[in-house]
Every structure is written in structure tokens, then in C-alpha cells.
Amino acid sequence: MAERLLDNINNPGDLKKLSVDELPILAQEIREMIINNVAFSGGHLASSLGAVELIIGIHYCLNAPEDIIIWDVGHQAYAHKILTGRKDRFDTLRKIGGLSGFPNKYESEYDVFTTGHGSTSISTALGMAAARDLEQKNYKVVAVIGDASLGGGMALEALNHAGHLHKDMLVILNDNEMSISKSVGALSKYLNRIITAPAYNKIRKDVENLLSRVPRFGFRVIRSARRLEEGLKNLLVPGMLFEELGLRYFGPIDGNNIAAVIGTIKNIINMNEPVLLHVVTKKGKGYSFAEKGPEKFHGISSFNVNTGEKTAAADIEKQDVESEESFTKAFGSKIIEMAERDKKIVAITAAMPEGTGLDKFANLFPDRFFDVGMAEQHAVGFAAGLARAGFKPVVAIYSTFLQRSYDQILHDVCLQNLNVILMLDRSGLVGEDGPTHHGAFDISYIGHLPNIVSMAPKDEDELKNMFEWAVSYDKGPVAIRYPRGSSYAFHTGSGNSAPINLGKGELLKQGKDVTIAGVGYMSNIALEAASFLMNEGIDCEVINARFIKPVDIDLIIESVLKTEKLFTIEEGVIGGGFGSGVLELIIDKVEKHIIIKNIALPDRFIEHGDRQVLLDKYGLSSKKIAEAIKKEWQR
Ligand SMILES: Cc1ncc(C[n+]2csc(CCOP(=O)(O)OP(=O)(O)O)c2C)c(N)n1
């Protein structure tokens, strides 16, 4: 194979040995590497392809790692990984033990911050700029943020503060007019107006012409016209919004044109004040299938490079939505069925209509569907308002992103005791997206809040029943957590589940030796572990908790008085989890000596990798659960 420019690039210093004219060739080589690897490993393809030239340009002008680059979300930064000494390991992307799909501070000194959640970069960058100034150092600080992420509350709070602090920092707004789907919101419309400036320029010319003829109309008209001009300036000068906030605005420039990117950054990098550079990029750039379908290629599992067709069943951000069975899909169809009957049901998503299964609802009930953008806190506060006014809002957000809304759940929903339904998709381990994305904490962060009912279904049918029950429940908020993918391997067919009653669990199997109480999907795993143990002569009683709160402690106690051994199983962190809740209740109620073990995720952040491999590694596969029970049994 002919030598590539990329072969000689092991760090950003090597990059600077190339001439600007050579860089488009390098961009092409990087693009090929990204496409070929993501086709195999899955990953965030479209965002990363769109940002290749921008990333080359940034590294060409800056001096990383001394200069600081903070990537927002970090899903666009594959070219950064390739340019900063990781090209030879790029084929391990997202694999267990391999490169993380996001910037990871433990992976490379060039990844200053571990990220995965949106809208954080400007705050972090501003903090580092403030620290630099306190220590009188003089490195540069750059935040790179997408147009959708800029609409998140934290980013807007940071802009507000950046304009006020007036630190030397550069915010690069990478605007591709896309979130996962099309960007939504007034800010996105504003950015779009800037991008389509030619039309504005024409209006501006017309207005200028008009104003130049104004003297004919006398002094009062001129004064009004001046005021009008001021008002129009706000509308017509690109980026006026940012200027008014205290940031110098430059752009829009073509972010896929390396020479333009480099020329502009070189011009503005030493301005010693907060600057926002607006670059426009094409999501999916350079791979026709991704350019045509950026949504499909935002986060994708493995695919055939020649056809663009997926070779595995699931997308990563939209995981398993299209597979035959999935919790997401069950929710998506059930909410439609319920909404046809109940006009008070409204649905809310935070930039993830497909991922949460609400896309069909959105088409059928556009007036009752709200995509609030990457604004999880607002999503919950907004739902609280709808509920206060008599509607039944259903907020579907991934467990990991709902962490953002902790205080809104507490203050705006639970304290007011409003009928808001929270659907926590991707609860538990999500797999390749890793620690920023695992839904490990929701049992704890929901469970300790007063007034809220918290549930977890073992399979899709139970999810539908629980959702129906939640809609009928009118005494306060309800949270339902369910994992990525489907319960297909365990699915027993519809209609077998006992009806849902508040605070009542379900006895799945009778036994006399050991009690296993599982949360949601883990009840199936417990049942499978019980069947392994039966072959070893250990007869387990298996309970599907159904309610994490209020937990059916009577059912558990009744069983444990018989077996004297209790194992709780949950796909969530051990601290403040279901198991510890059971312990708190049981300690007061049972005097007999019993053995209790909580099997849950440990008190640490779980790495990325295949979900089944991780479940096994952390003791949550049926095999590992059976082994743990057997060990205790033999003591
Ligand atoms: C707080 C939070 N909510 C939702 C997500 C899921 N998510 C990942 S990327 C993305 C869209 C980002 O769009 P943008 O910032 O415009 O970047 P682009 O992908 O278009 O480059 C979303 C919604 C997230 N990572 N963090």
C-alpha cells in the first residue's frame, strides 16, 4: 500500500509539518479510517465525519496538550483521537479494554475531560480559563460545541458567565443544523437565519437604501428610523445575540474548508477575550449514505461500507428500536394506544424522539408531542407545568440523561406531588457507550424521593401493563425504568402477567431453599439462575419485585421466613439501591436470623464494552448469580 500522510502523524506536532495544501488529503485518509473502523465497531459516525476538517484545523493552530481543547459530548472527536497518537488502536474503538468512544482523560493526555453528556464544554473551558488566569499562565482554552448542545441549559448558563468574566477563551460552535434528528428550538432557528445570510444581506441592503432616502421625511422620521436601524442591526448582524452576551462573534465560515478554518482561527486565537467562532459543517461529510441519512448514521452499529446497510440489528443511540421486540418499542406502541383513548396524555422528549420510541407518537399527535431539545431539566419542569394544569405528561428520557433533572424531579414534580410519568429508557448497563451512558444510578436517585412510585418491568408486556397502570394512577408521580434492548430471550408471550397493583410484587417461582428478589429484567435472569440451581438440588423461590418503591416487603418477608436466605438482584449501583431499601425495611420486621446478600453494580464507574460481557463481569449474569448463591449455600 502506498504511504499515506497519516502514517507519519503520531501527534499534533507531526501535523504541523504538513502544508495547508496537503491537509485535505490527510482529511480524506482520516475519513477512510473512521468509516472503515466504525463499519466494524459501530459508533458515532456522522458527527465525527462532519468534524474532520475542523479538528485538523484546530490542532494545526493550537499547541495541544498545553493548549486545552474541550469537546462537548465528545462523540465528534474521532479525528482528534486519530491525530493524537491513537490511530494504531483505533480498531479497538468501543470494545472492552479498547479505546473509548468518547474523550477519556484516563486514555490520553490530549483528552482533557471525560465527556459523553451534552452542553458541558463551555463551563469546563471557562473554569480552566479562570484557573489559568489565577495562576498567570498563558495557554489557550477552546470549547467545541454542537448547535444542539448549545441549546442545553448548562451551555447557556456558561455563555452568560463567559460574557461576564471576559476571559480569553474560544468557543467553536460546530453548526450542522442537526441534533440526532433535525435541531429544534428558537436558537437553532436563529443560527439558521445567520447561515442563510445572503437573504438577510439583501434585506439589509434594501433597508440601507430606504434609510439613505430618509432625510426627505424629516427629523422625527430619521429618529424613528435610527431606532429601527438599531433594532434591525440586532436582527441583521450575524451573531448579534452572542455579541450582546459579551462574546465577539466570527462567522459563519465553512468548517469543512480546512484553509478557511485555519485562516480564521489564526486570526482570532490571540484576541484575549471570549470569542465565538461559528463554523458550518456537513454532518456525515464524505460518506454519501451518512450525508443523505445523518440521522441513521448519528450512532450506528456495524454496517456494510458499500451499501450503508446495517449488519447488526441495532443502532446505538436508537438501539434495538427497529428490532422485533424491545422495551422501547413496547412503550412506543402502548403510549399511542393509550393516547387515542385519553386526550390528556402528552409526550415529551429531550432531543431523542427515535431513541425513546416516541417518533410515531410525534407523527400521530403532533400537538401533544414536545421535543424540547437537549434540555432534560426543562423537560421535567415543563412536564410539571402541564401536569399542574391537568394534563398527563409522559417524559421519556434515558436514565443517564435524566440525572440532569434530579432537582426538577424533586422540586417541580415530587414536592408538588404531580401526576408526571417518567419513562427511564436504557436503565442499567448500555454497553459500548460506557460510563457516561450507563443507567446505573436511577434506582438510587429516584428511590429516595418522597411521593414518587418507582417500578421496573421484567418484559415488554409488563412494561405495557405498568404504563397503563401509571396512566390510571392519579395520586402522584410514577417512574418506570427499563433496559436497552429486549427481554426476548426470556419472553413468555403476552397476557401471562398478573395485573399490576400498587406495591405488589409477583411470585414467579415457588421454592423452599433460597429467596431471590429481582428488579425488572433481572427477574428473568434470576429465574434462569434458579433453573441452573435446581439441577444442583437448590430450590429457589423467585420474586419479581415490580415495585422498587413501595416495595412489596410482605411478599419478601413471607418467603424469607421460609428460606432464611435472601438474594436481591438489580442492574444498578449498590448504594441506595433496591437491595439496601429491602435491608432497611427487613431489619425492623424480621427477628429470625437470616442471610441477606445484595447483588448489584459496585460502587465504581463501569467501563465500556459489550453489555452481556459486562453483566457477567459484574456478577449479574444468570451463571454468576447461580455461582454466588451456590457459594453461600455451601458455607
Ligand atoms: C445531556 C445529553 N442529552 C442527550 C444526549 C444524547 N445526544 C448525544 S449527541 C446528541 C446530539 C448532539 O447534537 P449537536 O450538539 O448538534 O452535535 P452533532 O452530533 O450534530 O455534531 C444527543 C441528543 C447527550 N449526549 N447528553
CATH classification at residue 469: 3.40.50.970
What residue owns the CA closest to ligand 1's atom 11?
179
Say what percent of the chain tops pLDDT 70.
90
User: pLDDT averaged over the chain?
Assistant: 92
What is residue 204's predicted lDDT score, i.e. its pLDDT? Answer: 46
Q: Is 426 in the pocket of ligand 1 (CB under 6 A)?
A: no
175 CA to middle of ligand 1, Å? Answer: 12
Residue where a domain terminates, one of 432, 458, 490: 490
Q: Which atom of ligand 1 lies at the shortest distance from residue 73's CA?
A: 25
Predicted pLDDT of residue 424: 98
**Ligand 1 atom nearest to CA at 174:** 21
Show the cell assigned to 599: 447483588
Question: For residue 449, which of 411, 393, 505, 404 has the smallest C-alpha distance?
Answer: 411
Q: What are phi and psi of 572, to 5 degrees?
A: -165, 170
Distances 97 to 89, 107, 116, 175, 481 between C-alpha atoms, Å? 11, 11, 18, 33, 28
User: Which of 76, 80, 179 for a ligand 1 pocket mutation test, highest count of atoms within 8 Å of Cβ?
Assistant: 179
pLDDT category, 229, cuts 50, 70, 90? Answer: low
Domain shared by 486 and 574, yes or no:
no
Q: Domain range spanning residue 394?
A: 327-490
Q: Residue 84 class from Cβ within 10 Å (0-12 exposed, 13-18 middle, 19+ buried)?
A: buried
Written as one string, the DSSP assignment of 383-427 is HHHHHHTT-EEEEEEEHHHHGGGHHIIIIIIITTT---EEEEET-
User: How many angstroms separate the alpha carbon of residue 76 from the centre of ligand 1?
Assistant: 10
The span from the CA of 516 to the CA of 560, in Å, is 9
Whole-number pLDDT of residue 318: 47
| DSSP-H helix ranges across 448-552 | 460-472, 522-535
Q: Is 404 tagged catalytic?
A: yes
Q: What is the CATH number of the domain that holds 568?
A: 3.40.50.920
In this structure, the answer to whether residues 273 and 391 fall within a common structural domain is no
Q: Coil, strand, or helix at residue 11? A: coil
Secondary-structure breakdown of the chain: helix, strand, coil percentages, each rounded to the nearest 5: 45, 15, 40
Which pLDDT does position 314 carry in this prediction? 53
C-beta 149 within 6 A of ligand 1: yes
Could you tell me if the CB of 599 is within 6 A of ligand 1?
A: no
Ligand 1 contacts CB of residue 296 (under 6 A): no
Kindly state the average pLDDT of the residues 150-167.
98
Q: Are residues 511 and 483 in the same domain?
A: no
Residue 178 Cβ < 6 Å to ligand 1: yes
Q: What are phi and psi of 156, to 5 degrees?
A: -70, -35
Q: In the chain, what's the furthest Cα-to-Cα distance?
A: 102
The tally of domains found in the chain comes to 3
**Residue 201 within a domain:** no
CB atoms within 10 A of CB 604: 10
pLDDT tens column, 44-101: 999 999 999 999 999 999 999 999 999 999 999 999 999 999 999 999 999 999 999 9
302 CA distance to ligand 1 middle (Å): 20
The model's pTM: 0.93
pLDDT reported for residue 195: 86
Q: Is the CB of 146 under 6 A from ligand 1?
A: yes
In order of 331, 348, 375, 392, 572, the CA distances from 402 in angstroms are 17, 13, 10, 19, 15
Peptide bond just before 550 cis, omega within 30 deg:
yes
Ligand 1 neighbourhood includes 437 CB (under 6 angstroms): no
For residue 91, the SS3 value is helix
**Is there a domain that residue 207 lies in?**
no
User: CA-CA distance, 496 to 487, in Å (whole number)?
Assistant: 15
Residues 548 and 472 in one domain: no
Q: Which of 159, 310, 305 is nearest to 245 (CA)?
A: 159
Q: Kindly state the average pLDDT of the residues 176-188.
A: 90
Q: Cell numbers 403476552 correspond to what residue? A: 494
Element housing 481 (H / E): strand 478-481
Residues 624 and 544 in one domain: yes
Tell me: do 269 and 363 sit in the same domain: no
- Ligand 1 pocket, 548 CB below 6 A? no
CA of 39 to the centre of ligand 1 (A): 21
Q: Whose CA is nearest to atom 13 of ligand 1?
A: 179
Say which of 177, 317, 376, 570 is annotated catalytic.
Answer: 376
pLDDT at residue number 320 = 43
Neighbours of 157 (CB within 10 A): 13
Return the C-alpha cell found at 242.
Answer: 452572542
In a domain, 314, yes or no: no
Among residues 404, 464, 484, 611, which one is catalytic? 404
Q: In sequence order, which residues have a C-beta less than 8 Å from that of residue 413 and are 6 or more positions away? A: 380, 383, 384, 387, 420, 422, 452, 477
- Given 95, 283, 318, 481, the catalytic residue: 283
For 169-183, 351-365, 394-408, 558-572, which range has the lowest pLDDT when averaged over its residues?
169-183
Residue 24: is the preceding peptide bond cis (ω within 30°)? no
User: Is residue 199 over pLDDT 60?
Assistant: no
pLDDT at 232: 61
Q: Which atom of ligand 1 has the smallest separation from the CA of 46?
A: 19
Beta-bridge partners for 425: 398
> For residue 629, what is its C-alpha cell?
448463591
Domain assignment present for residue 163? The answer is yes
Same domain, 408 and 455: yes
Do 614 and 473 lie in a common domain? no
For the segment 24-38, the average pLDDT, to the nearest whole number, is 98
Q: Is the CB of 374 under 6 A from ligand 1?
A: yes
For the chain, percent of residues with pLDDT exceeding 90: 86
| Same domain (yes/no): 279, 175 | yes
Residue spans of alpha helices (H) in 237-272 = 240-245, 258-268
Report the DSSP pairing between strands 547-549 and 453-455.
antiparallel
Cell 495557554 found at? 139
CA distance 580 to 223: 71
Which of these three, 490, 524, 551, is where a domain ends?
Answer: 490
Considering only CA atoms, which residue is closest to atom 25 of ligand 1?
117
Lowest mean pLDDT among 192-206, 268-282, 371-385, 542-556: 192-206
Residue 478 belongs to a domain: yes
Asked whether 606 and 614 are in contact (CB, 8 A), the reply is yes
CA of 180 to the centre of ligand 1 (A): 6
Same domain (yes/no): 147, 265: yes
Radius of gyration of the chain, Cα coordinates, nearest whole angstrom: 27
**Any ligand 1 atom below 6 A from CB of 76:** yes
pLDDT of residue 313: 56
283 in catalytic set: yes
**350 and 251 in a common domain:** no
204 is catalytic: no
Checking if the pLDDT of 317 tops 90, the result is no
Res 207 pLDDT > 90: no
Q: Which of 149, 187, 285, 402 to probe ligand 1 with, by most ligand atoms within 8 A of CB?
A: 149
Does residue 308 lie in a domain region? no
- Tell me, using a 6 A CB cutoff, whether residue 73 lines ligand 1: yes
Least confident range from 323-332, 365-374, 601-610: namely 323-332
Same domain, 253 and 389: no
CB of residue 279 inside a 6 A radius of ligand 1: no
- Asked if residue 465 belongs to a domain, the reply is yes
Rounded Cα–Cα distance for residues 409 and 442 (Å)? 12
* pLDDT (0 to 100) of residue 88: 97
Query: Distance (Å, rounded) from C-alpha 30 to C-alpha 53?
Result: 10
Domain annotation covers residue 558: yes
